[in-house]
């Protein structure tokens, strides 16, 4: 009888910086294997205003 081994998903800690899609993003939330990360994007117009973007990434 073979034992099934669960693959453990290693989630980053809240507040840590991760690289997603060649972008450095800060982890702001972890819930049900979903990472919510934010990063700053600099807009060329509107006097180079800083825009904070949030993205959710599902861990599969």
Confidence of residue 55 (pLDDT cuts 50, 70, 90): low
Question: Averaging pLDDT over each range in 9-13, 16-20, 52-56, which range is the top one?
Answer: 16-20
Average pLDDT over residues 24-35: 81
45 within 8 A of 51, measured Cβ to Cβ: no
Average pLDDT over residues 9-22: 81
Q: How many residues does the chain have?
A: 60
51 has pLDDT over 80: no
Cα 8 from Cα 52, distance rounded (Å): 31
Average pLDDT over residues 50-55: 60
């Amino acid at each position: 009888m073979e034992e099934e081994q669960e693959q453990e998903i290693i989630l980053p800690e809240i507040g840590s910086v991760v690289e997603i899609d060649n972008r450095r993003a800060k982890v702001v939330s972890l819930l049900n294997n979903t990472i919510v990360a934010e990063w700053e994007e600099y807009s060329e117009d509107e006097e180079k205003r800083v825009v904070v973007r949030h993205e959710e990434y599902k861990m599969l």
